[in-house]
């Protein structure tokens, strides 16, 4: 490694590239869905969120956990890149062909209206773009800057189509066509990038190799499927048990949650190759990396959730409009899934890196069952607020069990009480804010600034941030 590269914070640079692309994607997405929330009536917007939730769930089926498996193989053998780049899209394409009918069937089973069913079918056909998302390949080849624009391209095309062609409350079919176009152009981007800057594009249908890939990725894929179930089943419960506009009241906060969880995914997406390598080569350095990352994630994730809870009303109403007042309390509860997931992903990705997917699956199943039972009990009484509370319960169970399995089968990662100090600090500042009768923006800003000051003065996270920024440099230097 050159001397100049040693002095550059490689992990931070890659993370900024990924987050930059995701931020642009999120901003464009907010603009497009803000527009759609105003053009469509509440039932139609709820139908759109339902179609997205169902398709997102089945997207995980098509992906089948093959991305993390490909990255893990590349971390051990960079020479396998060409074979993996040809085999993984082939396996995903076969899964997409088998999955599309199931997406449409789901709309019938849940007794949706004809317009919603048509929209779901259009979104189902957009799954044909999933096999060509070779972001895992760019991740494994340390070309994060090329992976970053993909989501932004997809959301930009969708936003342009929405602004140009969706004009009336009943233009749901148009939204589905726009979604298909955005997936198609995003696929063109990934194929072009792979061909020009990574590995010549090709797809090889070798059934034996595809079977091995799908089998290896199945445990990860099923775990991700259970997570997708946990993320979207509250909306399905609301749509099935209550329906109508209530789908929109939960769907709008869920859209923001999904965008924020994507940032957490990118953080671990960037950290995963280092974690996998250190787990195989130097367990002490891996443990130190996890400890450092957990402290930073605790303060940043909890701080973000505190800020968005305090400003939930102006935040939601500015984005979606005054008719979404019922979503404010739902969002204030649901947003706490973000720090829980950000922290629990340390254990989840560690289990994948060590090939212990079965324990990850157990954790996800226990969390999903908790969420489902809690949702069935709470949604009939508290509607969308009950669904949000059920999401919190399910994610907490997943985190606790995954952390337990890592401690038992890999080793002590970090004390489970690491998030306790930032959590207590958030409760303290939040209580001060609610006990005062000042202007919302003044008291909320004081609480956020106070929490941030505690993160640096009491939590001492600045040295941890610097260690994380240079984590890739240290790993490469040791190679």
Q: What percentage of the chain reaches a pLDDT higher than 70?
A: 93
Higher-confidence position of 52 and 474: 52
Report CA dihedral (161, 165, 169, 170) to the nearest 10 degrees: -100
- This prediction has a pTM of 0.72
Q: What DSSP string runs through 169-226?
A: TT-HHHHHHHHHHHHHHHHHHHHHHIIIIIS-------HHHHHHHHHHHHHHHHHHHH
User: CA-to-CA distance for 215 and 235, rounded, in angstroms?
Assistant: 30
| pLDDT number for residue 4 | 44
Q: Treating both helix axes as pointing N-terminal to C-terminal, what angle do 207-241 and 246-281 enclose, rounded to 10 degrees?
A: 150
Would you state the pLDDT for residue 93? 93
Q: What is the pLDDT of residue 334?
A: 95
SS3 assignment, position 146: helix
What angle separates helix 246-281 from helix 312-320, to the nearest 10 degrees?
110
183-204: pLDDT as tens digits: 999 999 999 999 888 888 888 8
Q: Does residue 252 surpass a pLDDT of 50?
A: yes
How many structural domains does the chain have?
A: 1
Residue 454 has a CB neighbour count (10 Å cut-off) of 19
What's the mean pLDDT in 139-149? 75
Write 314-321 long-range contacts (CB < 8 A, 24+).
314/440, 316/252, 316/253, 316/256, 319/30, 319/33, 319/34, 319/37, 319/252, 319/256, 320/33, 320/34, 320/37, 320/252, 321/34, 321/37, 321/38
Alpha helices for 1-148 (secondary structure H): 3-6, 10-39, 42-63, 66-76, 81-109, 114-125, 135-140, 144-147
Over residues 16-44, mean pLDDT = 79
- Band of pLDDT at residue 111, cut at 50, 70 and 90: confident
**What ranges in 322-356 are assigned the alpha helix state H?**
327-334, 337-353
Residue 18 clears pLDDT 70, i.e. is over it: no
**pLDDT per residue over 290-333, tens digit each?**
999 999 999 999 999 999 999 999 999 988 888 889 999 999 99
pLDDT exceeds 60 at position 1: no
Give the C-alpha separation, 386 to 228, whole Å.
19
Range of the domain at 322: 3-477
Task: State how far the Cα of 159 lies from the Cα of 69, in Å rounded to an integer.
Answer: 32
CA dist 219 and 208 (Å) reads 18
Stronger pLDDT, 457 or 434, i.e. the higher one: 457
The crossing angle, in degrees rounded to 10, of helices 246-281 and 327-334 is: 10
- Going by pLDDT thresholds of 50, 70 and 90, the confidence category of residue 20 is low
Select from 175, 306, 328, 322 the least CA-distant residue to 250. 328
pLDDT of residue 48: 92
Q: What is the DSSP letter of 167?
A: -
Would you state the structure tokens that stand for residue 114, as one six-digit string?
């004809």
Residue 475 has pLDDT above 70, yes or no: no
Q: How far apart are CA 37 and CA 33, in angstroms?
A: 6
């Amino acid at each position: 490694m050159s001397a100049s590269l040693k002095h550059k914070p490689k992990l931070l640079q890659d993370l900024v590239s990924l987050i930059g692309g995701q931020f642009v994607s999120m901003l464009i997405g907010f603009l497009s869905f803000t527009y759609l929330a105003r053009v469509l009536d509440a039932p139609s917007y709820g139908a759109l969120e339902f179609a997205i939730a169902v398709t997102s769930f089945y997207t995980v089926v098509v992906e089948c956990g093959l991305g993390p498996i490909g990255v893990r193989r590349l971390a051990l053998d960079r020479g396998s890149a060409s074979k993996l780049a040809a085999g993984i899209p082939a396996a995903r394409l076969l899964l997409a062909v088998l999955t599309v009918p199931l997406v449409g069937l789901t709309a019938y089973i849940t007794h949706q209206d004809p317009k919603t069913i048509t929209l779901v079918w259009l979104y189902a056909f957009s799954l044909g773009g999933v096999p060509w998302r070779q972001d895992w390949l760019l991740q494994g080849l340390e070309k994060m800057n090329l992976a970053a624009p993909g989501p932004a391209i997809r959301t930009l095309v969708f936003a342009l189509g929405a602004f140009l062609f969706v004009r009336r409350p009943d233009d749901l079919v148009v939204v589905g066509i726009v979604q298909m176009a955005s997936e198609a152009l995003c696929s063109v981007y990934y194929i072009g990038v792979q061909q020009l800057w990574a590995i010549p594009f090709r797809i090889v249908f070798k059934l034996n190799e595809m079977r091995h890939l799908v089998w290896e990725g199945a445990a990860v894929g099923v775990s991700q499927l259970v997570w997708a179930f946990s993320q979207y089943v509250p909306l399905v419960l609301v749509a099935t048990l209550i329906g109508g506009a209530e789908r929109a009241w939960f769907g709008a906060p869920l859209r923001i949650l999904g965008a924020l969880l994507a940032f957490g995914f990118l953080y671990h997406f960037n950290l995963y190759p280092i974690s996998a390598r250190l787990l195989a080569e130097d367990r002490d350095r891996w443990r130190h990396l996890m400890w450092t990352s957990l402290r930073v994630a605790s303060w940043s994730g909890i701080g973000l959730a505190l800020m968005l809870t305090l400003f939930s009303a102006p935040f939601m109403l500015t984005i979606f409009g005054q008719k979404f007042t019922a979503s404010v309390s739902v969002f204030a509860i649901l947003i706490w899934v973000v720090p829980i997931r950000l922290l629990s992903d340390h254990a989840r990705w560690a289990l994948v890196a060590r090939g212990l997917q079965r324990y990850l699956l157990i954790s996800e199943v226990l969390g999903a069952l908790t969420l489902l039972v809690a949702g069935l009990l709470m949604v009939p009484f508290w509607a969308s607020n009950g669904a949000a509370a059920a999401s919190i319960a399910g994610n907490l169970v997943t985190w606790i069990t995954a952390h337990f399995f890592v401690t038992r089968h890999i080793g002590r990662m970090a004390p489970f009480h690491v998030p306790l100090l930032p959590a207590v600090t958030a409760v303290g500042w939040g209580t001060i804010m609610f006990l005062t009768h000042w202007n919302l923006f003044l008291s909320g800003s004081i609480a956020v600034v106070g929490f941030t000051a505690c993160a640096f003065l009491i939590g001492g996270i600045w040295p941890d941030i610097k260690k994380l920024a240079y984590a890739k440099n240290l790993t490469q230097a040791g190679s």
